[in-house]
Chain A
Amino acid sequence: MRIALDYEPGVTSALVARHGGRPEMLIQILHGVIEHFSFVPEAAIRQLAEELNLSRADVHGVVSYYDDFRTEAPGKHIVKICQAEACQAMGSRALTQHAKETLGIDLHETGGDITLDPVYCLGNCACSPAVMIDGRTYGRVSEEKFDELIGALNDTAAGNLD
């Protein structure tokens, strides 16, 4: 589960330092930014350009090119459903439809605590259809299993209120 934190430049500076200030480590540093803040804030783009001696256009170009680098805060939970061929052969289209209906959102949307994204292959093609929830891969996901996994997320959320 992710909780969006206020941006702290010190975190980004520490990531740059950990990667030796090397501009070729930009993608690795951005993964660290995402891990910490759940998205790449505009302030991080400016700061990374400055600290890595790159243009803002360079950094923006990289951030906008890669699907992993979202620039807006996602929901607390990120649910990705594989849309690739092997999972399609095992009904991932129907599973995706089921997810959209039960969550009330389309792919690339956030509803309540959950962001629903497509993903193209999780490498779990012998246990299709595959779903990733908060960085954990699940296999042989039927509609019932999907509901169970989502239900467990909601339980965790409720538990946090205690």
Chain B
Amino acid sequence: MARSKVYVPRETSAVSVGADDVAISIARCSKKSGEDIELIRNGSWGASWLEPLVEVEVDGQRIAYGNVAPADVRGLFEQGFLAGGDHAKRLGPTREIPYLSKQQRWTFFRAGLNNPLSLQDFLATSGFKALEKALTMSGEEIVDTIAASGLRGRGGAGFPTGIKWRAVLEAQAEQKYIACNADEGDSGTFSDRMLMESDPLCLIEGMAIAGFATGASKGYVYLRSEYPLTYRIFGKALELARDNGWLGKNIQGTGFDFDIELHLGAGSYVCGEETAMLESLEGKRGIVRSKPPLPVHAGLFGKPTVVNNVITLASVPNIIRLGAERYASYGVNRSKGTLAFQLAGNIKRGGLVEAAFGVTLRELIEGFGGGTASGRPVKAVQVGGPLGAYIPAEQLEIPLDYEAFAEIGAMIGHGGIVVFDELSNMAQMARFAMEFCAIESCGKCTPCRIGSTRGVEVIDRILAGEEKENNYDLLVELCDTMEGASLCAMGGMTPFPVRSVLKYFAEDFAPHKGGDA
């Protein structure tokens, strides 16, 4: 009899709730019962609320068991889970879990399927097919394809990727670089991490395509240090690619040279800003640069550099392989394709949901997310990280579309959606926005460095009921100054969450209401 395949994810969220211990228990139980199994540590499907999500392959079909604890393992064996046996934790076939089956997976199509460090599995699921195809195209053809797909920067700014790549392609320089921004510091976001842990070779493939298209022979990945497991997995993926001729000199005998160096950040949020990241990659303090010059003209070490987010680059292989039209057929208006939304905070079914643009906040939060974890009504939703506006529950019909969000003073950013229930005090969250900016400001420009500290003080005075109206006006004026005069988005957008609280949750500023958030 063939060995049963059992899958237990090795991904930060799954491991954070006990996946390693479950894997150990399964290995022990199988030994004890004499049932020979092949234990595979796969990536995550992204249904974090079901983690640890254990699967068994039965007749070629994967059967899922959710929220498995080490204490459940003996019972699972006793009830014949290796044959897909019934159990209170049995969810049925993985592919039929509505949370997963209703998604439109493009960038994450491989996530959860296999051991992310199996080159064989990667190749068997169209891995490196896009790079092979790209290597037969010209740089212009690749850039044209990316431009036609409508792909925009998934890090938050939403800048058209094709335009960025074209600028670097056309720049004249001996050396050019691809710098991948994996400094995913926004609260409520984890898609970069999940992609790099669940399908790291896909990012490597996307970066190599970007390098070939623009004439860059070297890539850098700047990963935040809060992701130690990601660092280990991605580091191993780089070795795997290098050892098998998919990175390094003369890739697969085509004469194309490209290699990637993995750098670890050191706990600075602002290093997610592209120019601060470049400074940090050069081994310096992560201080924001003035623009111009733009990184596409003078980026890393002063050379033309494509700076792209993980998800942007990981979306590229399928665009090359399946065609720009296919990608552009997803989405609405100028927001083409899909985005890996991340449902976080006070939500019942938190995790990663990749869907075409145009889906509404309500569909994501209620349809996929099942409402709040606490069961209380939604009060506010912060989309796009600490610099994103707090959207009130009455506006959940808004479609996820870059321009529709911009119209209401909000942003989609990196697709993080953090839900707050009615017990939350939004004035405390406005205060936190200023406090966070004060902690993380790089200090180069005054509005951000000083303004954020003054912002905390002014909000404290309002909450204490001191000269309320004057301080209200002062806070608005301070927001104007920070927004108009800061060097980068850190100081420039910190006012967004603050203003949204003033606009929609002003009652929370009543003195002495300041409870726990």
Q: How far is the CA of A120 from the CA of B268 in the complex (A)?
A: 9
Name the segment of A6-14, A27-35, A153-161 touching the other chain: A27-35
The interface residues of chain A lying within 8 Å CB-to-CB of B350 are 125-128
Residue A105 at the chain B interface, CB threshold 8 Å: no
**Per-residue 0/1 for A103-132: is the Cβ within 8 Å of any B Cβ (1 yes, 0 no)?**
000000000000000011111111110101
Q: Which of B16, B265, B419, B420 contacts A124 (CB 8 A)?
A: B16
Q: How far is the CA of A126 from the CA of B350 in the complex (A)?
A: 5
Q: How far is the CA of A121 from the CA of B418 in the complex (A)?
A: 12
Contact A125 B418 (CB under 8 A): yes
Q: If A27-B280, A27-B283 touch, does A84 touch B16 (CB 8 Å cutoff)?
A: no
Residue B311 at the chain A interface, CB threshold 8 Å: no
Residue A73 at the chain B interface, CB threshold 8 Å: no
Contact B436 A90 (CB under 8 A): no
Residue A67 at the chain B interface, CB threshold 8 Å: yes
Residue A41 at the chain B interface, CB threshold 8 Å: no
A25 to chain B, nearest CB (A): 6
Residue B299 at the chain A interface, CB threshold 8 Å: no
Q: How far is the CA of A18 from the CA of B154 in the complex (A)?
A: 34
Contact B382 A127 (CB under 8 A): no
Which of B224, B344, B429 counts the most A-chain CB atoms under 10 A from its CB? Answer: B344
The interface residues of chain B lying within 8 Å CB-to-CB of A128 are 344-345, 350
Which of A85, A93, A120, A136 counts the most B-chain CB atoms under 10 A from its CB? Answer: A85
Chain A residues within 8 Å of chain B by Cβ, number: 45
The interface residues of chain B lying within 8 Å CB-to-CB of A22 are 283
Chain B residue with Cβ nearest A126: B350
List B residues 409-448 near A (Cβ within 8 Å): 416, 418-421, 424, 429, 432, 436, 439-440
List B residues 34-78 near A (Cβ within 8 Å): 48-49, 51
Contact A66 B268 (CB under 8 A): yes
A140 to chain B, nearest CB (A): 6
Q: How far is the CA of A128 from the CA of B283 in the complex (A)?
A: 32
Residue A86 at the chain B interface, CB threshold 8 Å: yes
Q: If A25-B283, A85-B418, A85-B429 touch, does A123 touch B184 (CB 8 Å cutoff)?
A: yes
Chain B residue with Cβ nearest A118: B439
Q: Which of B226, B382, B419 contacts A132 (CB 8 A)?
A: B226
Q: How far is the CA of A74 from the CA of B16 in the complex (A)?
A: 23
Residue A94 at the chain B interface, CB threshold 8 Å: yes
Q: Which of B17, B185, B265, B517 contacts A120 (CB 8 A)?
A: B185
Q: If A27-B280, A85-B429, A119-B226 touch, does A137 touch B351 (CB 8 Å cutoff)?
A: no
Q: Which residues of A contact B (CB under 8 A)?
A: 22-28, 30-31, 58, 61-62, 65-69, 84-91, 93-94, 119-128, 130, 132, 135-140
List 23 interface pairs A-B (beta carbons < 8 Å), by A numbering.
Answer: A27-B264, A27-B283, A31-B266, A62-B285, A66-B265, A68-B267, A84-B386, A85-B382, A86-B416, A90-B345, A119-B226, A120-B187, A120-B269, A120-B440, A122-B12, A123-B12, A123-B184, A123-B189, A123-B190, A123-B227, A125-B344, A126-B49, A126-B347
